[in-house]
Structures are given as structure tokens and as C-alpha cells.
Chain A
Amino acid sequence: MDSALIPEGVERCSFKRFTLGMIIPAALVIWGLYAAYLCWFKGLNQTNMNDSYGFALWIWADLAVIAVGGGAFFTGFLRYVVGKDELKNIINFAVLVGFCCYCSAMLILAIDIGQPLRGWFIFWHANVHSMLTEVAFCLSLYLTVLAIEYLPLLLENRKLDQVPFFHNLGHNMHEVMAVFAATGAFLSCFHQGSLGGVTGVLYGRPFGMREGIFIWPWTFFLYTWSAAACGPCFTMLSCKITEMITGKKLVKDNVYNLLAKISGWMLGTYIVAKIADTLWWAIVTVPTTGFTFMEFYNNSNNFHGLWILILEIGVCGLLPVAILVRKKWRENSSLFFTAILLAVIGVCVNRWVMVMQPMAMPVMTFDQWVLYLPSWQEWATTILPVAGGIIIIALSYRYLPVFPQERELNPVEKS
């Protein structure tokens, strides 16, 4: 029944099957919206956050989706600014995934703040010293850029393309896309960095604080770098999952290969920097605050101990680097999949540690290590954008020519 909307030359499952497939994500969205409604109308007492855990699951989710959404800016940067032409075959999808990620971040932020109707005060009464102000400005601008980057793809929909105005608009926008990509890359460097700065500037919280250069703590650069490294991994991971679900090959291996190689080197350099940062912090910064490095990990309430650091740097850092950098290994499809999955987990773990641990960690000597378990409302609202993202990607895939190589890789036999 929706065949008129489906791009030419490709095959899509039946509308019925598609609708059935959307039931679970749609149900999750409804569940999440109900939880969001509770948070908006009853207040944040619906969460399990408390006066020690003012930043919690949602802030982690924000940081994580923005990190993994970094695939859009970095792929765009490689494609348009550096000129890696093969990447044109995945850039649409990267933008789409990035768009979903950034929408998610905005949505979660809107639920997370205690007074959502005053959220715009961040622009109106902006405090230039605050990392969050920087985040807010760059984030909203970049979301606009992503929307602009996504628009031409939207206009390529068969029906919309029939409107001459849309057709021309889409065409002209393609021409200037490099400008937007460059703007996006610039904005992203800043807000990714500012998000890193969010905990880095907390000089009252020794676990989060970092030294740095000028106004920027080292985490500023680490966040940008790790987003550039792991964002494309998430794009590829999403792409692989899409291939699994559709049962089609959608992007050629050389594209994956190129992006994986770049990600591998990015991740490799990032991990080296991260290790250096951790060492400097542990040996130089932390002792000036009167803490020892191990105090952050061996508290009895800190049940994961040092393993979380090993997980982040070793298992989800060095291991994927090794796979992605070595040609033979990254060309092995299961190793490749493992590597990008680990890289994505690694960046999420990093964001988790940087948000959760500074909150839990007591600073006053007579303070307690605080444990926190999110409430169902927090989980639901965190899953909400993920489910929403799945729906957007599914719809986009179904009705838009997201993958330029799809027709070539999956020729449709004319009946």
C-alpha cells in the first residue's frame, strides 16, 4: 500500500511485516513517553536521583549518545573536508544515525532538567564560563546542521522529489553540503569537548577534575578525540545491524574497511592519550588533592573496583585497536564486528565512569560513597529515544535512498 513511497529499484518487505516489526519499538516509545509525562507533570521525584546523585543515568545517556553520534561529524569531515570519497556511500546513514542521537540527547535533556519550560534560560541568561552553556549552544546549532544535512535525503523520497521545488532544493543543498559538514565538524569539536569539560572543570571533585590548557581540561580533547574514534564505529555497528535485519548487504566492504582503519588509528591514538592522561592524573593531579589513585577504586561500595578501568582501556580500548589497525583482522567479519562493538561499549563506559563516579565518590572525609539505581521512569525515558531512533532509521531506510550502493549490491529482478 505504500509502494509509491518506496525508492525505485529496491525491494522492501511488505507493509504488514514492517508494521509488525515496529510494534515493539512503538510500545517502548509509548512507555517512555508515559514516563516522560510523569517526570514532567509530577517532577523529578519520579527518578531515583538524589542530592548526591544530581547527575545520573540521563546525563550518562546524553554523553553516550552524543559520543556515538559523533560518527556523523567525523564521517562528514572525512568525506567533505579530507576528501575520502568512498565514504559518500555511508555518509547518509552516518548523518541519519547522528541525527537520531542528537535528537535523543535533546529529548533526554528536556526531561532531565527540573524546569523544562525555562530550559531556554541557558541561552538567555548564558554564563560563558559554564561548559554546559557551550554545550547547549553548539549542540543546538549542530542539531540544526544535522537536520539540514538530513533534509536533502528526505527530499529524495520519491513522492517529495516529484515536487519541483523540493527537487531543486535538494539538489542545491547537495552542492553546499561541504560547508555544512565543515561547520558541523567545527561545532562538534567544541561541544564534544565541552562535554568532556563538564566533569573536567569540577575542581571540587577530584575524580572528575583534570588539569589542562587555558580554559580547557584534558578531558575536553579526549572527549572530542574519542567521539571521532568511536562515533564511526557506532555508525558501522548500526549499519551492520541494519544489514542483519534487512538481510541485505548495503555498504561495500571497502567502505567499512576504510572507516574501520581510520577509526582504529583514531582509537589507538586516543587510548595512548587516555593512558597518558590517566597516569598524569593518578600520579600528579590526584595526590595534590590528598587522594590516592586506588582510593577511587577500592571503596567497598565501589563493587566494580579497578576492573572498570581495565574494561575501558584494555578490553574496550587496546583490543579493538589491535583488531581495527591490523588489516587481516579487521577484514575478518566477526573480529570486525567484535571490535566496533567493543569500541562503542568502551566510549559508553568512559562516559559512565566520568559521570557516575564523581557523583558517588565522597570528597569530604566523613562523607559516604553513594550507590544509585535508576528508577523505571529513568530507564524508560532513556530507552525512549533509542526506540524512537530505531523507528526513524527504519522509516528512513524504507522510504529514502539511504544507501547509494543498495541497488548495485541487491539488484531487483524485474517481474
Chain B
Amino acid sequence: MKINRRHFLALGMGATAGTMLSPLPWKLTDDASIWTQNWAWTPVPEIGESYYAGGACTLCPGGCSLSVRKVGTRVVKIEGNEESPINTGDLCGVGISATQLLYGPSRIEGPMIRAGKRGEGKWRRLSWEGAEAQLAEKLSALSGSKKSVVALSASKQGSVALLIQRLLAAVGSDRFLTLPSVHDTLEAAMALTMGREPGEGVGFDTENTDLILSLGSSVAEGWGSPVRMVKTAAAKTMIQVEPRLSTTASMADIWVPAKPGTEGVFALSVAAAMIQEKLYDHLFVATATEGFDAFSAWLLENYTPKKAEAVTGVSPALVKKVAVAFAGARRPVAICGRGKGDTPISLAEALSVFALNALKGSVQRDGGLVKVGAIPYTLAMAETDDLGAKLAAVTEKGRTELLMDWGTNPFYTLATSQEAADALAAIPTIISFSPYMDETAAMADLILPDHTHLEKIQDVPVRAGLERPLVTLAQPAVDPVMTTKHTGEMLISVGKELDADAFPWDDYESYLEESCGEMWEALSEGGLWQGDIAWKRGLERMLGTSDRFTFVIPEGPVFLSANGDASRYPLTLVPRSSLRISSGAVADAPFTMKTIEDTVLLKGVSLVEMNPVTAKEAGLHEGDTATLTTSFGMVPVKVTLFDGVMPGVVALSKGLGHTAFDEYIGGKGSSYTALSGAMVDSATGFNCTWGARASLKRG
């Protein structure tokens, strides 16, 4: 038989028909779909024993305790610890998303030394011995004054803070610094009005209060201990004073839109109204205070509601309404510290708030402003005197030869202007202990990365305006993910090289136990230690046997005005706080990035909120691209209109615009801090900036 083309055709067709009738195509179709259900690149999480480990969050000062859910050796979820008196099983988004910081691309793999130009991102890995030797060498080889060494510490007290201080002492420096907060001013005010022993703090017993008069504090958005304050905001009567309708303001029973930065003046006007209307607590003032007459005369001369109106823009009628509400409440408290309280206020403003509380008798009692006892560490730390000036010196050129950073990320948090950023960048030697590639680590010469809070044991003293002293314990929920080392351990090791006597401990854990002393039992068993309340109750208080309160007439200005030429900068820039944005040293993890509204951040650009009236005057519309400029810097933004912003004011979210970290959390929007500049309080030397004069131009 001759085989021709037709046979081939027939064969082909036959084969096709045969295949179609066989189970093969059906099997293949089925297999193809099964393949799509099991794509190798879609991860299948490993199963394993599921259990919880304890821990403490260090991403903000709030002091939340954690229940870390594990599967096998992995951390899969962070939840709030139900036993915690602070967060009672709840947790904020930043805290929950720390799993992604733990395992995320911003982690530093191990000790590294700079290999390229500064900030270029070229590194050479070191062994831990090598890295510690480098640190010891750099510290001992300082050429200039020993005082040119600075260390920034994430916490003011605690075991690691002490080690940092001792290391500084070993090289002869007393520049142990922490990021300033409203508590630094509050403690100074307490020293003047109520007396203060080292280690004592200021608290607000918001649990027992029935009315909160918040002078710009973001009660619902991260002030104090955020999770606890959110509960408070949802439950208590509130009066909120601030120029922008924040969540707190909207949840408040009365919103007082005072002009930016004038909250302290408003507090004084309320105090004056209370005196004018005789609404203050006569018994308390008579029995437990001093200096009332002089103070009240000064107040009535300078801060009557009518006079204050010129500064605050708040009508005397509204001041009176607030005074009546505050005086009429059973246990009201006035709190202060704008936003999350992470910027100090002027001493004069703090004194005003203290006085307002004292007029109502709301000091040293349930629901009031209270003294918080010192945490009983067995190894005492010296408090840094002149913190304000020393902090200012960090961002002055030529004042620092070597900077060490433990979790404060000064290149983000202290870089309040281009000048400040330049001064930081000019520091000859920068050493970071950060576990994450933050802005400071990115500019460092040497990195000795710490464990994250999920990988280490460490005491976490809480300084968040709680009514009593409290320490939580970070615990290793997981073996270190990277080649990191506990900074405490590292400091002991390096410290021994420099001054063996000051670092007599074998390892960090034995040191920690010694340092915690009487607290150790509670800490090691329950992960939390809390002290007693420090105020006297009942009769003792009424009889005046308790500490007396002194009304102090502030010397410096209560209201710090914004710098800048009003014609060049017609607007006032204020920050916007949100619990969805961690505005501290560490950027939001990817999960938290998800929660940021598109009126805050859109396609990598920050949005600036402005009143439609202001926008109309400036010829700007929703969604317009614009440049926001202050005397300290300029950033590209988009415009979003919001009726809740006071006309003439523009609001930019704080905590965005990280330039380091990774592509998931860095490079998102612009940093408010970089535009905020400085407003120095002459009394304390702290930068109390609450905003800046600004201009907003299209394009």
C-alpha cells in the first residue's frame, strides 16, 4: 500500500478522535486544576503544636503585655495578654503587626561595619567578637573631649539603660539621653509644685476619673498607654481642646477648637473662669495648697477668658461652659501633651495644667493627677540633668564625636529640620544597636543589632502616665531570627573591656535579676510588676497631712508662637496623630500600612488636610498635588479637604516618610517631623514644637 498525505491526515484525525474519547483529556484537565490549587509558589504554612508565649511590646511607651501565638518554632500571631491590667487582652495594630517586623526585610542580619560611603548601604559582616572589639576600640580611641560621646536610649530607666549609662561613664561622658516627651516637662512641673524624688513620675488616674479635659492630647489616638486610653476614650466624658477635629475631638462631649499651640492659655482661662465664678474647690485650696492668692491675682490679671480669647480664639462663653463642666464633675482631670505626648510642652504650660487640676482638688487623689513612685531597681541610675540642652546639642554641628543609638532612631525622630539632619550626618562616628535598618542604622558606621522584643528577655519600665509604677517583661517567644545579640549582653561584654569594675556581671540574665531586685519574682512569674499607688486617701488628704500643692506662677511663656514670616508662610502646619501610624522610632509593618487611610497616604504621597475655605482661598482642590514648605524643609503632598480642620491650619500625619527600612514600609509619604523645626522652651531647653508656619503651593 502506498502511503500518501491522505493517510497521514486520516491517521492524525483518527488519533485526535481516539485521544478525545480516551480518559486522557479529562485526566489532564483535572490535573491542571489540581495543579492550580497547589502552586508551589503559594505557601502552605507548616503545621505544628500551637501554644502561647508571654512577652511585652516595646514599640511605643504604652506597656502592653503580649500573648504570642506560636506554631512549632514560629511566631504566627501577637495578641494582647488578658492578664495585663493595661491592655486586658486587646492590642493595637502596631503591636499585632510586629510579627512582620520580626521576620521582615528590614531586619539586620548581624553585626556589620560600613564598607561604602555613609548611607550608601554597603556593609561588611563582622563576627560578634569583632564587632564588640570595634566598639570598644572606637570608644577608647576618642580623640576629643570625653563629653563628645552621646548615647540615646529608648528608655530612661531599666537594666539596659543603666548599662548604657555605665558605658558612657567608663569613657567619661554624662550625655545619656532619651527622646524627650511631655513627661520630662511634667516631672519638672511636679518638682516645682509637689516636690519630686529621683525616679518619680507623673500619672493621671484616668480609670477613676469621670471627666477628662484634654489639652490637645490624642486620648483615642495614642496618648499615654494607647490601648488603655482607647478604652477610656470610649467610656468617659471628654472635653477636647485642639485646632483639628481629631478622633478624640469627635468622640468628646465638647470640642474646643482653640488656635494651634494655645491649649495652655486655654487651660489658664478655664482656671481664671473657675476663680471668677468661684467654682474651684475651696476646701482643697484652703487646706492643701500654697501660693493661691498670688497665683489667682496673676491669673485674673492676665488670663481672664476675655483676654485669653485674643490668643486662643475661644469665646468666653465656651470657656465658661468648660469651666462649669470641669468644676461640676466629681473627679475630673486635665491632661496635657499634644498628640501622643511624644513632644514636650513648655514648663509654663505644664504648670498651668497642674494649677487647673489643683483648683478642682484633682491632685493626689483617685481620678486625678498623681505622683507615681519610683521603680525600685536595686541599681540606681542617675537622672540626666539639663536633658533639654544636651538633646539640643546632638543636632548642633561639632558637638558630638560619637553617637550610639539604642532604639531611638535620631535620624528620624530628632531630625526636625534639614539643618538638624545635616548636623546628625556630620557626627564622625555613629553606632546603632537597632535590630531594624532604620534611618540611623542606615547612616551608621557600625551596627551591633539587638534582638527584637520578641526575641529577648528584658525589663520594660513603663512611662506612660499611668497612676502607678509598672514594669513589664519582654520574653523570648522565639529563637533569634537573625545573628543578633541582646544589647544588654553586648554592653556587659564591651563594658568589661573598658571598666571591668563597673560591669561585674557574668551575663545579662543574672544582671537583670539582680537589677530588678524585689520586682523579679513578679516579673519572672507573671511578666509584670506593678507598684502601689502613691497618694493618700480620705481623711488624711482632707486634713492636709498629705503633700501640699504649690501654685507656681510660670516664668516663661505659656504659648510658644511659631517661627516664620506670616506673609511668606500664611498657614499653620500641625501634626495629625493616628494609632494606625507608629510615629516613634520604628516604621509601621506592612499589615499596619494596610490600615492607613487614603486620605492620609495615597500612592506613596502624603496628604495634607485643609479646610475647604482655606483651600478655596489658596486655589486648591481635593487631590491637587502641592508643595508644603516650612522654614525647615519642603515636601511634596496631595491636598485633601476636611471641614474639621480650622481654617488657616493644615494637618500632616506624623510618622510617615521613613527613608530607610524596606520597600514595604519605607518611602511612604513625607515626615512631619522633618518640617516641624524647633520651638525652644527657655525654662527647660526642650524643643516643644507643636507645629510650624507653612505655605502650600500647587505643583
Contact = CB atoms under 8 A, between A and B. Distances in A.
Contacts of A115: 33, 36
Interface string A107-121: 000000001011011
Interface string B29-58: 100110111000000000000000000000
A121 B32 CA distance: 12
A333 to B, nearest CB: 46
A130 B30 CA distance: 23
Interface string A44-57: 00000000000000
A189 B514 CA distance: 85
A118 B33 CA distance: 5
Secondary structure call for the A interface: helix
A32 to B, nearest CB: 23
A115 B32 CA distance: 11
Interface residues of A, number: 5
A166 to B, nearest CB: 12
B23 to A, nearest CB: 15
A253 to B, nearest CB: 42
Contacts of B29: 120
Interface string B205-217: 0000000000000
Nearest to A114: B36
Contacts of B33: 115, 117-118, 120-121
A118 B29 CA distance: 8
Nearest to B9: A163
Contacts of A121: 33
A121 B37 CA distance: 13
A163 to B, nearest CB: 9
Nearest to A121: B33
Nearest to B35: A117
Contacts of A117: 32-33, 35-36
A118 B31 CA distance: 10
Max chain A Cβ within 10 angstroms of own Cβ: one of B32, B33, B37: B33
Interface string A95-135: 00000000000000000000101101100000000000000
B490 to A, nearest CB: 44
A370 to B, nearest CB: 12
Contacts of A118: 33, 36-37
Interface string B327-365: 000000000000000000000000000000000000000
B496 to A, nearest CB: 55
Contacts of B36: 115, 117-118
A290 B36 CA distance: 43
B599 to A, nearest CB: 11
Nearest to A115: B36
A120 B32 CA distance: 11
A115 B38 CA distance: 12
A120 B36 CA distance: 13
B394 to A, nearest CB: 45
Contacts of A120: 29, 33
A211 B469 CA distance: 66
A223 B285 CA distance: 83
Nearest to B598: A368
A120 B35 CA distance: 14
A121 B29 CA distance: 11
Nearest to A120: B29
A155 to B, nearest CB: 14
A118 B36 CA distance: 8
Contacts of B37: 118
Interface string B654-691: 00000000000000000000000000000000000000
Nearest to A368: B598
Nearest to A119: B33
A120 B25 CA distance: 13
Nearest to A118: B33
A297 B35 CA distance: 45
A117 B33 CA distance: 5
A118 B37 CA distance: 9
A118 B34 CA distance: 8
B547 to A, nearest CB: 51
A349 B35 CA distance: 40
A51 to B, nearest CB: 13
A4 to B, nearest CB: 14
Nearest to B37: A118
A117 B31 CA distance: 9
A5 to B, nearest CB: 15
A115 B39 CA distance: 12
12 contacts: A115-B33, A115-B36, A117-B32, A117-B33, A117-B35, A117-B36, A118-B33, A118-B36, A118-B37, A120-B29, A120-B33, A121-B33
Task: List 5 tightest A-B contacts by C-beta distance, closest first.
Answer: A117-B32, A118-B33, A117-B36, A117-B33, A115-B36
Interface of B: 29, 32-33, 35-37
Given A115-B36, A118-B36, 10 more contacts: A115-B33, A117-B32, A117-B33, A117-B35, A117-B36, A118-B33, A118-B37, A120-B29, A120-B33, A121-B33
